[in-house]
Structure formats: C-alpha cells, structure tokens
Amino acid sequence: MILCEQCPDNPDCRNCLDALRSGGSAQKVLPSRSVHVTNLATKETTVAQLHAVSRTAIGLYSKEQSLHGRMEVELAPDFRIIGSGLRGIAGVPYYVIDIEKVLRREEVLERLLLDEFHNWHMSDELNPIDVLPDWKERDDKRGRLIKQELQKLSILRRIETIFLYLYDQGSIRPISSNRADRDIEREMKRLVEASDAGASVREQLMSADGKKVFEVYASPLPDQTSGIALIDVTSAIMEERKRRRREWEIYRDILAVVTKEKLLLLSDEELFFLLREGHKSLAMDLRAPEELAELRRSFKRVLEPVGISDKRLLQFMVAVNEAASNTLKHGTGGTITLHISADKRLCRAVIHDTGSGIVLEDLPRATLQQGFSTRHSLGAGFQVMLQYCDRVYLGSSLAGTKLILECSIDT
C-alpha cells in the first residue's frame, strides 16, 4: 500500500482511509487541514496535515516528525483529541492516531460526540469554537441537542463499569480505555450479528464464571455500523435483591404481629425444611371443582386413623376446602399434599399452585382484607383458614404460591 501522489485531493483513492481500519465510517478531509500535534512524553510539538477521519481514528501526514506514542492533536483552540500514534503506511510518513479521548474546554467527553467531531471536519456546519462557548445560553434545536448529549455523557462518566464498542464489517472494537472479557465480547458480537438488520438489541449476558451480569444495548448507526454499550449491572442486581429481602422481612414481621403469629411468611427454603419434619401421606392434583369431594374423602380416610377428633377434622377439612377452592377460582388448580409429623401430633396440608404468585405489596390485603379480590388473591376464605387452623404458612414467588395449613391432632 502506498500513499497516492495526489493525496489527499484524489477522492477515488482509499489507501489513507484503509489504513485507519475503520471500515465504512472513514472519510477524507478535503482539503487537508493543518493541525498541531504534541508528543505527551517529550512535549515536542509539530504541525501535521489531517488527511482522514473516522469514529475511532484519524490519519496524519507528517514529514517533520515521527508521530509515535501518546499524542495530543489540537484541531482547534478548544477542540483536541488524545490518542496513540503508529505508522499507517509502510515507508510513508503517514500516521494513524487511535482516538482515546475528545476534549473540549478542559472537559473529557469520552467518545460519544465523535459524530459531531466527524461532521465538523466534513462540512463545517458545526464549529465548536462558535457553538460551545455559549452552549448554555443557546435555545435553538442544535444547541439543545448538544446540551442534551453533554448531560448524558456527564452521567455516563460516573458509571465506572460501562464499556463502549463499535461493530463494523464483522468485527467488534472497543472505543474506550475499558474493555470486557473476551467471552463477553464474543457474545456481544454474536447478538449483533443474529439481530435483524437495522434493529436495536437489548439483552442480558452472564460471564463464564457466573459472577457478573451485563446489560447489552446495541443500536444501528447511519453509516452501517452499530454502537454497543455494555453495562455491568452485577452490583445493581445485588443491591436490588438486598432491598427486596429487607422489604420482604418487613412484610413478614407485620403479618406475624397482626395475626399473633398465626400467619407466617416463609421463603421456599424455609418451607422445604418445615415439610421435611414429617412424612407425606397423601398427594393429588386438583383441576376441576368436582374433584373437591374426592379431596375431602381422601383427607378423612388418612386422618381418622391417627386419632384426630371429629371437630378438629371438620374444621381442618373446611379450611383445606377453602384453600383448594381458591386455586380453582384464581387459576387452573394445583397440587394438594398432606404431611403428618413423625410424632403424629401435627398434620400439614400443602396447597401449591403454579401461577405467577402474589405481588409482595398485595400480601397484607390479599390475606387479611375482607372483599379484596384479584387474580392472585387468596380470597375471602383466608379468614376461615386463619380461624380453623393453628397456623398458616405462606410462600409466594414467580414459581407460584404455597400455602401450608397446620393443625394439631388430638390424642
């Protein structure tokens, strides 16, 4: 590859553009511009010619000085970039500066305003010297858009775990100093390639070790590339789980106090260990109202031999019937099991439906308020369950609702 003899005035030659490795986003600067370049290590300054620009790199022609290492390129008194330089075309003093930061008025704007930088060079429609000094006072459409972008970037700079990428012609490239692990980058590339052309992508990814969770946002850009933002949401998810757990504990304590320990809210794990204390004596599926009679007969057949009194048995059967009926009224039925403790002093009926569960905020009303009724309510019969049972345990999640009715057995 050589630099064209008419460079940069030959629009048909792409050698200087291809050296930027930016695909279709690279364009020539016609005519070329003189820019000041400072080597940040040696503080040496030289003047170079700006030949090409893209979203992620610029191409400079410099006979006077080699442009290696970290460079500051002053495009205008208030418009500079920071990047690393390397030889772009062998044997020719043409250098590619890989952009790391865009700076305005001493403020790092990261690299989301590269479109504005790009347009400035191509058309002079947006000159930072003219626009930015008084952008707070501007009230036109372009001024408001710039202000909006500045505010967005101000927020993004406060997020330490955001990674920015550009997908261009089958490859994915980071456009910030931070980058994610290779396995996550491969998954991002797969998601973008699998999406419909021109469609935005929003997905959640997990690291290979299962310790990190990321939100991926990919959106097509006007030049046939795609911009990708990857956000580490692990801490946010953990914090939300802690908040929900604290909220759940508050509801648990309130329900216990109001019902004098007769209604206890338990987690799935606590419910599991509670049921391990006894043995399962009966199990049946309930899908239709006509099956309620068989449920009552089955419970009576199992409980009478263990010595429960007629009164206690009747009360327990009424409570179980109410709970079972609710699974039919507010869903498609469920599974009913009967557990008897090893010492045969307690029996527990477990009513499990596979609906979407009861929303945590609705639990007090769904269990205690007369007349409160939604698709996920336990119904007015819940008062009967509390009255006729010694204790009621409740667990509700996206996997469904588990209700355990506990009754002592008279001996």
Please indicate, yes or no, whether residues 248 and 226 belong to a single structural domain of this protein: no
Pairing of strands 346-353, 400-408: antiparallel
Q: Which of 167, 222, 309, 242 is nearest to 27 (CA)?
A: 222
Identify which has the larger pLDDT, 211 or 374. Answer: 211
Q: How far is CA 234 from the centre of its chain?
A: 9
In this structure, is residue 297 part of a structural domain? yes
Q: What's the pLDDT tens digit per position in 140-198?
A: 665 566 556 555 555 554 455 788 888 888 888 887 667 889 899 999 998 888 887 77
Q: Report the predicted TM-score, pTM, of the whole model to 2 decimal places.
A: 0.49
Evaluate whether 228 touches 217 at the Cβ level (below 8 Å). Answer: yes
User: Is 95 in the same domain as 179?
Assistant: no
Number of domains within the chain: 3
Does 389 lie in the same domain as 272? yes
Tell me if 134 is assigned to some domain: no
pLDDT-based confidence at residue 399 (cuts at 50, 70, 90): low
Residues 368 and 391 in one domain: yes
Domain CATH for 173: 3.10.50
Q: Do 8 and 29 form a contact (C-beta atoms < 8 A)?
A: yes
Say whether both 219 and 255 belong to one domain.
no
Residue range of the domain that includes 288? 244-408
Instruction: Give the distance from CA 61 to its chain's centroid.
Output: 44
* Confidence (pLDDT) at 368: 63
Domain boundary among 204, 232, 260: 232
202/297 same-domain check: no
Contacts for 8 with CB less than 8 Å, ≥ 6 apart? 16, 28, 29, 30, 31, 32, 49, 51, 52, 61
396 and 266, same structural domain?
Answer: yes
Task: Write the pLDDT tens digit of every residue in 273-326.
Answer: 888 888 899 999 988 989 999 999 999 999 999 889 999 999 999 999 988 988
Q: What is the DSSP letter of 196?
A: P
Evaluate whether residue 155 is within a structural domain.
Answer: no
Q: If we measure between CA atoms, which residue out of 235, 107, 81, 57 comes closest to residue 162?
A: 235
Domain-located, residue 116:
yes
Secondary structure in 3-state letters for 206-275: ECCCCCCEEEEEEEECCCCCEEEEEEECHHHHHHHHHHHHHHHHHHHHHHHHHCCCCEEECCHHHHHHHH
Domain finish residue from 194, 211, 232 = 232
For residue 143, is it within any domain? Answer: no
163 three-class SS: strand
Structure tokens at 338: 């009967």
Asked whether residue 5 is domain-assigned, the answer is no
CATH number of the domain residue 84 falls in: 2.40.10
226 plus 263 within the same structural domain: no
Question: How many Å separate Cα 280 from the centre of its chain?
Answer: 41
Q: Give the integer Cα–Cα distance in Å for 218 and 182.
A: 17
Residue 296 shares a structural domain with residue 204: no
Residue 57 lies in a domain: yes
Domain containing 346 — which CATH number? 3.30.565.10
Q: Is 8 exposed, middle or buried (0-12, 13-18, 19+ CB in 10 A)?
A: buried
Residue where a domain terminates, one of 232, 265, 294: 232
Is residue 274 located within the same domain as residue 401? yes
pLDDT-derived band at 91, boundaries 50, 70, 90? confident
The predicted structure's pLDDT at residue 119? 46
**Residue 193 falls inside a structural domain:** yes
Residues 352 and 303 grouped into a single domain: yes
Query: pLDDT above 70 covers what percent of the chain?
Result: 74
28-79: per-residue pLDDT in tens? Answer: 887 888 899 998 888 889 999 888 888 778 889 998 888 888 889 988 777 7
Q: 374 or 89: whose pLDDT is higher?
A: 89
Same domain? 46 vs 83: yes
